[in-house]
A and B are shown apart, each in its own frame.
Chain A
Amino acid sequence: MAGSTEPTPAQAPVTTDRPGLIKAVPVRHPGRWVGIAVVVVLAAMFIHLLVTNKAFEWHFVFEAMNQKPVINGFLKGTLLVTALAMIVGVSGGVLFAVMRLSPNPVLSGVAWLFTWFFRSVPRLVLLTTMGALGILFQKGLSFGVPFDWKIMDWLGLSGDLRFATVNANTVFSGLVGGVIGLGLSEAAYMAEIARAGILSVDPGQTEAAQALGMSRGKVMRRVVLPQAMRVIVPPTGNETIAMLKDTSLLIGLPVITELFYQLQSIGSQYYKTFPIMVAATLYYLAATSVLMVGQYFLERRFGRGFGGGPRRAPKPAGVETI
């Protein structure tokens, strides 16, 4: 083994006596065994509770989980809204982060204002407010010149300067409203995460890319953002998991095609509150576990070139390689 190739220290006394065979014993870890015993007892107590306590009503739990409206709510209200809101959130967040770091004071001011507003409003309040926004646009949500009637009046003309009108209720309510509300709120948090990621990239990278003649946009897209992703991905995984759970707030809008609302309505119908909460927990546990696997692969993808490959082992000075 490694010990036998080591040279004898110069000062060591040279003897012809060889030490006798030693009886090697593995290092003992008594603390670990105590720990294992404690954990085993606690786990047994927990399993005992799960199996023997009648209040769980496992049969009812799995039957509730298997109901069509529940599955439908899980797929649409929970999974689909999470995915879409995160797409809105991540792309919006990166955009606002780039704006925030722009030398243009208008762009960075707008990005700051957006972040300030959407980080300040709680998601439940935001979604409930969105559900009520229709009152502002009773004749539909119109896009055009502001103060158009005043301007037309002043010019002595009639008519308006509105180019497109959509029904406010289709925008602000239902799953669309949920995606917009949660997505904008997420964009505010993601803007800060993406900004931290961009700032984590060595300024020398930007200089090197600029010196090669790359434009500001190309430097950002091809050099800075791919490296910032390494810092952005882990907290984004966190945000996605938080978003998955925050879809239970969609009821504020109100949206009822959603897991938690559907389960709760079954629960109140049969007066079985606790088993329903167990069913909801199981759903969220399963979905979160899948997301964590996805995060692992994303982190590996964006960690390339940062010590992911074979590393050169550090070698103490003066040591010859054998």
Chain B
Amino acid sequence: MTELIEIKNLHKSFGANHVLRGIDFTVSQGEVVCVIGPSGSGKSTLLRCVNLLEQPEEGQVFVRGEDITDRDCHLDDARKHIGMVFQQFNLFPHLNVLANCTIAQTTVLKRSAAEAEQVARANLDRVGLNDKVTAYPAQLSGGQQQRVAIARALSMDPAVMLFDEPTSALDPELVGDVLTVMRKLALDGMTMLVVTHEMAFAREVADRVVFMDEGVIVEQGPPAEVIGNPSHERTRVFLKRVLDPTHVEPS
């Protein structure tokens, strides 16, 4: 397997807050990696450094062998191969569903309008929303909006998909629809880096689970090991709080 994403000694601070303290980490072609950890552990920041929505202070990020932290790198070119799905969906509210999925295809990839529409419809079909092409985002439920956001990212034919807590802003009954789409993507062989709190999803779909705390990777490995039988105390405490929230003792 070839390394699709390679991160070396990554550091990121927001003011005095040292969020990432030296991350070394790789994602291989076709691998599904889930990043878990308590809030504030730096997992979203790590994800946002992969397409440089956050500029790291130190360290390098290689995507398909290209160092995107290099000042000479054509960042926009690199980003079009990296799909991203946000916690708050961030669909373009002034465009309908179809236009949301075609705007970057026509302006960035320079595809013709007809080709872009064909690709967009195929991807909307993939997420089960081919009947919503003319709707505006405000007319859709949260789960539908997130699936459109996934279709929008897929329409760029990305080499890797980043998911930043894709189900955290959804009503509980809508989470399943989005996770089903993501599971299908994983089965289709998409390389995925997912920041999530859905332990059941991580356990079932991930090839590897990464546990982060206080800006470092505490442990990583197959889900059965990290979630089923964690070797670090911090991982154990976190999993206990997440998996059994009603029995956490007040600290």
Q: A interface vs B, CB < 8 Å? A: 202, 204-205, 207-215, 218, 222-223, 226-227, 230, 302, 304-307, 309-312
> Can you sample 6 A-B contacts with CB below 8 Å?
A207-B86, A210-B79, A212-B104, A212-B156, A213-B77, A312-B141
| B238 CB–A CB distance under 8 Å | no
The answer, among B77, B79, B93, B95, for a CB contact under 8 Å with A211, is B79
Contacts of A226 in B (CB 8 A): 94
Instruction: Give the CA-CA distance A202 to B137 in the complex, in Å.
Output: 15
Check B94–A227 contact: CB distance below 8 A. yes
Tell me if B244 counts as interface (CB < 8 A to partner A). Answer: no
The answer to whether A211 touches B82, judged by C-beta atoms less than 8 angstroms apart, is yes
Of listed A204, A207, A212, residue having the most chain B CB within 10 A = A212
A213 to B53, CA, bound (A): 11
Check A310 against B139 for contact (C-beta < 8 Å).
yes
Contact A204 B90 (CB under 8 A): yes
What residues on A are CB-neighbors of B152 within 8 Å?
A: 212
Q: Would you give the shortest CB distance from B114 to chain A, in whole angstroms?
A: 19
Task: Tell me which residues across on chain A come within 8 A of B86, comparing CB atoms.
Answer: 204, 207-208
A295 CB, min distance to chain B CBs, angstroms:
19
Check A222–B103 contact: CB distance below 8 A: yes
Q: Out of A208, A212, A304, A311, name the residue touching B94 (CB < 8 Å).
A: A304
**For B51, what are the chain A residues with a Cβ–Cβ distance below 8 Å?**
211
Question: A204-B86, A204-B90, A207-B53 given as contacts; is B138 within 8 A of A215 (CB)?
Answer: no
Assess whether A305 is in contact with B93, with CB atoms less than 8 Å apart.
yes
**Residue-by-residue, is B68-97 near A (CB-CB < 8 Å gives 1, otherwise 0)?**
000000001101101110101011111110
CA distance A116 to B185 in the complex (A): 54
Question: Among the listed A213, A304, A309, which residue makes an inter-chain contact with B80, where contact means beta carbons less than 8 Å apart?
Answer: A213
Expressed in whole angstroms, the minimum distance between the Cβ of A278 and any Cβ of chain B is 44
Residues from chain B with a CB closer than 8 A to the CB of A309 are 136, 138-139
Residue tally, chain B, CB below 8 Å to A:
31
Q: B248 at the A/B interface (Cβ < 8 Å)?
A: no
**Residue numbers in A under 8 Å from B92 (CB-CB):** 205, 208-209, 223, 227
Residue of B nearest to A203 (CB): B90
Q: Are A307 and B107 in contact (CB under 8 A)?
A: no
Shortest CB-to-CB span from B136 to chain A, Å, is: 4
Contacting pair A305 B77 (CB below 8 A): no
* Sample of 12 more A-B contacts, CB < 8 Å, known A208-B90, A208-B91: A207-B53, A207-B90, A210-B76, A211-B51, A212-B103, A212-B152, A230-B94, A305-B94, A307-B138, A309-B136, A309-B138, A309-B139
B95 lies within 8 A of A305 (CB):
yes
A195 → B minimal CB distance (Å): 19
At the interface, yes or no: B243 with Cβ under 8 Å from chain A?
A: no
Most buried by B among A213, A305, A306: A213
How far, in whole Å, are A209 and B94 apart by their CA atoms in the complex?
13
Q: How far is the CA of A302 from the CA of B82 in the complex (A)?
A: 31
B91 neighbours in A (Cβ, 8 Å): 208
B96 touches A305 (CB 8 A): yes
- CB pair A214 B107 closer than 8 Å: yes
Contact A222 B107 (CB under 8 A): yes
In angstroms, Cα B77 to Cα A225, docked, is: 23
Contact A304 B108 (CB under 8 A): no
3 pairs of A and B residues whose beta carbons are closest in the complex: A213-B80, A208-B90, A212-B104
Closest partner residue, chain B, to A202 (CB atom):
B90
**How far apart are the CA atoms of A100 and B141 in the complex, in Å?**
37
State in angstroms the CA–CA spacing of A312 and B136 once bound together: 12
- Pick the contact of A306: B76, B83, B84, B93 (CB < 8 A): B93
